[in-house]
Amino acid sequence: MSIPDAATLVASAQRGGDAEFSYLVSGKARPVLILNDPPSEHHQEITALRLLRFSKIADPARQEQIRRNDDPLLFHLDPARFDLPDENAAIVSALVRMHADAIDSKTALGALNPSEMRVLGERIIGFYGFDTRLLVERKIRELVARRRERDA
Q: Which of 23, 43, 36, 24 is nearest to 99 (CA)?
A: 43
Q: Which of 65, 111, 106, 55 is nearest to 85 (CA)?
A: 55
What pLDDT sits at residue 37? 78
> Which pTM value belongs to this model?
0.74
Its CATH architecture, for the domain 30-151, is Roll (2.30)
For residue 15, the 8-state DSSP code is T
108 or 88: which carries more pLDDT confidence? 88
Sorted by where each begins, the domain ranges of the chain are 30-151
What integer best gives the mean pLDDT of the chain?
87
Band (pLDDT 50/70/90 cuts) for residue 30 is: confident
Q: How far apart are CA 68 and CA 33, in angstroms?
A: 19
DSSP letter string, 61-109 = HHHHHHHTT--TTEEEE-TTTS--SS-EEEEEEEEEEEEGGGS-TT---
20 or 151: which carries more pLDDT confidence? 151
Q: How far apart are CA 77 and CA 83, in angstroms?
A: 10
What pLDDT sits at residue 107? 72
Question: Do 60 and 99 touch, CB atoms closer than 8 A?
Answer: no
93 or 41: which carries more pLDDT confidence? 93
Percent of the chain at pLDDT exceeding 70? 87
33 or 40: which carries more pLDDT confidence? 33
Which tens digits make up the pLDDT trace of 2-25? 666 777 767 776 766 666 666 677
91 has a pLDDT exceeding 70: yes
What pLDDT sits at residue 55? 94
